[in-house]
Every structure is written in C-alpha cells, then in structure tokens.
C-alpha cells in the first residue's frame, strides 16, 4: 500500500507562477521533490501569457502526478492591478487539476505563514528559511519566489483542511474569510434569483 502523498503547491501569478512539489510520508515526514517558476513575458497579449502558464502547469502535473494540488487563495482585496491575472492563473491551476480528477486545496497566505513559521505575519525570508529547514535543503529555495509554492504544499501536508472545497471548508475560515465567503454566497444566490427566468 502506498502511504506517501505527492503534493503540488502553486503560488499563482501571471508573470511568475511558482510550483513546488513535495512528498508527505509516514509520520508527516516531508521531502523535497521539485521547485520551479513558470514565467510569461509581459510583452505578449494576455491570452498568450495565460496559454504559456497553462501549458507549464499541465506539464508539471503530467511530470509529477500529484495526489493533491494546493493553491494560494486569491482575494479580491489584494493588489487591484494584478489580482485579475493572479485569479486567472489560480483558475487555470484548478482546471488543470480537475481535468485529472486531482483534488484541489486552497490555503490563504496567512494560513501558510502560520503553518510554516508559527507566525501568521512572518516575512518572506522567514518563510524561505523555514521551508529550507522543513525540507532539509542545504540552501534557501531557488528561485526564491518559488518558496511560496513549497510553503503552500507544506501547509497542505500539515493542515489539509483546505482540501474541503465545499461548505465544510468554511468552518476553517477566519472571521474575515467567513464574512467574505458569506457575502460571496449571498451575491451568488441573489444573482441566480435575478437570472432565474431563463433557467
């Protein structure tokens, strides 16, 4: 019987999309497998940028055949200039996983910082250092941006609650996240009522 779990973490981004792969074995022993950044040029159109990221994500999933894909949660409050592209890349990662029937987990940046460093407000270097320590790397993750993708995968290994994508997931949200989720649900219900005539 196979007991290890291959977890592919994604730090979504249109210019740089981090991908980190770890193995979670018995007794929560975590091993490093792979880390990389999929890049798209800012000089080409949005559709071609997204296609590049899409192909990169699919190639990673084909290569590492993860048991679960864990993606950083995107919030609409984030940097308004980049949030749409980031959300689109997160969506592509979800579809690439769903097409392979791989469960999708979502963890927020503060959940990741808390899980990896014990401090929900840790800075980037603290996260990098703890990722290196947890995975027994003899230097900081390279490229540095990809540390977030490894941290995302580690978080899922330690706190897999994010895997529950439906209603149950809401039990694990912070008050602010729950408020957000409720507003979102309410909005969707209103919308489906408003548009119900064609259904």
Binding site for a copy of itself (CB under 8 A): 15-16, 37, 39, 42-48, 50-51, 54, 74, 76-77, 79-84, 87-92, 94-95, 97-99, 104, 106, 142-145, 165-166, 183-185, 187-189, 191-192, 195, 197-199
Q: How far is the CB of 118 from a copy of itself (least distance, A)?
A: 26
Binding residues, by number, are 11, 72, 145
* Residues linked to residue 174 through DSSP beta bridges, in sequence order: none
User: Is 72 a catalytic site residue?
Assistant: yes
Binding residues for Mg(2+), by number, are 11, 72, 145
Kindly state the helix (H) or strand (E) to which residue 118 belongs, with its residue range: none
Q: State which residue, 65 or 95, has the beta carbon closest to a copy of itself.
A: 95
Q: Could you give the CA distance from residue 64 to residue 155 in angstroms, rounded to a whole number?
A: 19
Q: Could you give the CA distance from residue 43 to residue 47 in angstroms, rounded to a whole number?
A: 12
Q: State which residue, 2 or 47, has the beta carbon closest to a copy of itself.
A: 47
Cβ neighbors of 119 (< 8 A, separation 6 or more) are 113, 126
Q: State which residue, 65 or 98, has the beta carbon closest to a copy of itself.
A: 98
Among 11, 23, 128, 148, the active-site one is 11
Q: How far is the CB of 197 from a copy of itself (least distance, A)?
A: 7
Among 43, 47, 63, 72, the active-site one is 72
User: Is 63 a catalytic site residue?
Assistant: no
Which pair of structure tokens corresponds to residue 30?
A: 């975590």
Among 23, 128, 145, 148, the active-site one is 145
Which pair of structure tokens corresponds to residue 198?
A: 């064609």
Q: State which residue, 30 or 156, has the beta carbon closest to a copy of itself.
A: 156
Coil, strand or helix at 39: strand
Cβ neighbors of 126 (< 8 A, separation 6 or more) are 113, 117, 119
Q: How far is the CB of 110 from a copy of itself (least distance, A)?
A: 18
User: Is 11 a catalytic site residue?
Assistant: yes
Q: Could you give the CA distance from residue 113 to residue 96 in angstroms, rounded to a whole number?
A: 26
Q: How far is the CB of 105 from a copy of itself (least distance, A)?
A: 10
Give yes or no for a contact between 106 and 166, defined as CB atoms under 8 angstroms apart. Answer: no
Q: In what order do the strands lie in the sheet with 68-72?
A: 30-39, 16-24, 5-11, 68-72, 104-107
Catalytic residues: 11, 72, 145
């Amino acid at each position: 019987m196979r007991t290890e779990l291959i977890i592919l973490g994604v730090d979504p981004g249109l210019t740089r999309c981090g991908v980190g792969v770890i193995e979670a074995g018995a007794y929560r022993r975590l091993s490093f497998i792979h880390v990389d950044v999929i890049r798209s040029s800012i000089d080409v159109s949005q559709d071609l940028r997204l296609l590049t990221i899409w192909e990169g994500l699919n190639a990673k999933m084909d290569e590492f055949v993860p048991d679960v894909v864990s993606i950083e949660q995107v919030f609409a409050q984030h940097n308004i200039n980049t949030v749409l592209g980031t959300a689109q890349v997160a969506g592509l990662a979800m579809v690439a996983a769903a097409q392979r029937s791989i469960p999708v987990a979502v963890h927020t940046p503060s959940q990741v910082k808390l899980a990896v460093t014990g401090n929900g407000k840790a800075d980037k270097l603290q996260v990098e250092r703890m990722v290196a320590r947890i995975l027994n790397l003899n230097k900081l993750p390279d490229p540095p941006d990809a540390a977030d993708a490894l941290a995302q995968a580690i978080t899922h290994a330690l706190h897999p609650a994010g895997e529950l994508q439906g209603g149950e997931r809401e039990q694990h949200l912070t008050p602010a996240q729950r408020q957000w989720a409720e507003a979102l649900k309410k909005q969707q219900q209103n919308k489906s009522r408003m548009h119900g005539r064609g259904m």
